[in-house]
Amino acid sequence: MKVFDLQGNNTNLVSEILAGVTSFVTMSYLLVQCPDMIGGHGAAKSTIYISMCITCFIGCILMGVWAKQPFVIGPSIGLSAYFTAMLMTELKYDYAEALAIAFFAGLIYVALSLGGLGNMIFSALSGSMKNGISAGLGLYIAMIGLKNSGFLITGEGGNWKFAEMSVINEDSFAILIMFAGLVFIGFFKRIGMPFPPLLGILASGALYYGGGKFFGLVNFSLFKPGFNEINGNFGTWYKQGFLINLTKGMGGLFSGMKPDVKLILTLIITILVCTMFNATESAGVVYAMAKNHGKFDEHGNFGGLKNTIASNSVASVIGTLFGCPMVAVAPESTAGICAQGKSGLTAVTAGILFLLAAFFEPVVTYIPATLTACVMVYIGFTMLGAVKEIDCSDIGEGVPALLTITLIPLTSSIIDGIAIGIIMHIVVNICIFKLKAIKPIEFIIAFLFGLHYFFL
């Protein structure tokens, strides 16, 4: 295990493996939601599922062995939504063509990441904006946990409201399990037990299955998945996902392309914006997690940043070969770090579980989301401390940070929250004649986001 330097990281084999398991279990719901979002637009859900599992496996191996970090690369709800809603719905590209766009965006991302893209993005953000991203990401993760448990539901007019709790049924029981899991995590942490998040999942799981069986509140017939279709799913993936769709997409984009300036310009801008979206989401998540878990040195530098961002970019390119649109450093992987994951072995463990999940789709898709919801709410709590470091005495710093904090969870988009925060940081500081607070690269990033919002 010299490659992971367990002794130098003050950790051990058991801790790292359990941390990797915690990260994977916490983000397992993404293997359900992301294929559901993308599937049916030219590729089967099972094809997207398998391609994501393989891509995440490769990405996690790169993260663990090359970057030597415990961050886990996984499916991204934000990037999946962008791929589906913008590329396929708004711009009318089919799945294969959108996949080709993601491929070219990934190549640019690789080139930029090897040239220090992460440091460039970090240097463009003010201290308050960085802390706003951390706090906003914490709220976003907590909201996902509350929604996954069923506690937050959509009411009239699209507003969020609490679920009905006056009657004990299967839904309210799941919500109680989520809150019980939070109590378990707090209790285990209070008494000094190792791996509080994982123990919280196990304890709430025992209560869920035991109590659900005793009171008849869980429909256990749902947990009898069949495995008959697995071979067929792999066959479909091989025919649809592996290189085939990417090749078709290349042909769709370029074969017979007319010299239409608007079409060509739209394609170029789309590829650049796609690059920026992937890079910005991953950079923001990496910063938030690295800061929250003490990865920065006394000078505010994160030594593993370049290889961390590069691992994500390479995985994004490789993923398109297998039929997976885009992946990112998953904010849910902070669960494994909270469970004492400190080395690349945490990421490698999660990666192996992603690969195994490709063969056990019926099992993974039936993991109750309420069991991991408690960990996500706990993660949100641990990341809120960044609010203390926002300079609220300076409107040029406080207002953009406030917008980032609120928009990330309210729009369910890490990218949009960061983008609006950067744009408003420029606008507000220009209005108050504080031009020195704006860095040149910030204009470039804002310009690319502006192309997305006002041109595409």
Residue 195 has pLDDT above 90, yes or no: no
Mean of all residue pLDDT scores within the chain: 86
Q: Is the pLDDT of residue 412 over 60?
A: yes
Higher confidence at residue 325 or residue 309? 309
Interatomic CA distance for residues 222 and 235, integer angstroms: 25
8-state DSSP, 84: I
CB distance 309 to 62 below 8 Å: no
Helix or strand or coil: residue 329?
strand
What is the reported pLDDT for 323?
A: 84
Q: Report the pLDDT value the prediction gives residue 309, as an integer from 0 to 100.
A: 92
How large is the average pLDDT for residues 10-21?
93
| pLDDT for res 111 | 92
**Average pLDDT, integer, range 61-90:** 91
pLDDT of 30 strictly over 80 = yes
Please tell me the predicted confidence (pLDDT) of residue 241.
Answer: 64
Neighbouring C-beta atoms of residue 289, cutoff 10 Å: 24
Split at pLDDT 50, 70, 90, the class of 186 is very high
Tell which residue, 387, 403, 384, 386, has the closest CA to residue 139.
384
User: What pLDDT is attached to residue 140?
Assistant: 92
3-state secondary structure of 152: strand
- Residue from 405, 446, 408, 410 nearest 425 by CA: 446
22 pLDDT above the threshold of 80: yes
In the predicted model, is pLDDT for residue 17 greater than 70?
yes
Rounded mean pLDDT, 96-107: 91
Higher-confidence residue of 314 and 222: namely: 314
Q: What is the pLDDT of residue 431?
A: 94
Per-residue model confidence (pLDDT) at position 415:
87
Q: Is the pLDDT of residue 456 over 80?
A: no
Q: Is the pLDDT assigned to residue 56 strictly greater than 90?
A: yes
pLDDT band of 365, cuts 50, 70, 90: low
Residue 250 has pLDDT above 90, yes or no: no
CA distance 160 to 156: 8
Q: How confident is the model at residue 124 (pLDDT cuts 50, 70, 90)?
A: confident
Who has greater pLDDT, 218 or 142? 142
pTM of the model: 0.89
pLDDT > 70 in the chain, percent: 93
Give the pLDDT mean for 393-407: 93
- Is the pLDDT at 340 greater than 80? The verdict is yes
What local confidence, expressed as pLDDT, does residue 229 receive?
A: 58
* 34-38, 172-176, 306-310: least confident range: 34-38
pLDDT at residue 260, as a whole number: 66
To 5 degrees, how large is the angle CA 160–CA 419–CA 383? 60
Asked if pLDDT for residue 419 goes beyond 70, the answer is yes
Instruction: State pLDDT tens for residues 146-169.
Output: 999 999 888 776 778 888 888 888
Closest to 3 measured CA to CA, from 64, 53, 58, 62: 64
CA distance 5 to 394: 43
DSSP per-residue string spanning 228-273:
TTHHHHHHHHHHHTTTHHHHHHHHHHHTT----HHHHHHHHHHHHH
Token code pair at residue 105: 């965006």
| pLDDT score of 263 | 74
Q: What is the pLDDT of residue 227?
A: 59
pLDDT classification of 226: cutoffs 50, 70, 90: low
Per 3-state DSSP, the chain is made up of helix, strand and coil in percentages (nearest 5) of 75, 5, 25
Rounded percentage of the chain residues whose pLDDT exceeds 90: 36
User: 231: pLDDT confidence band, cut at 50, 70 and 90?
Assistant: low
Each domain of the chain, given as residue ranges in start order, spans 8-454
- Residue 20 has a pLDDT of 94
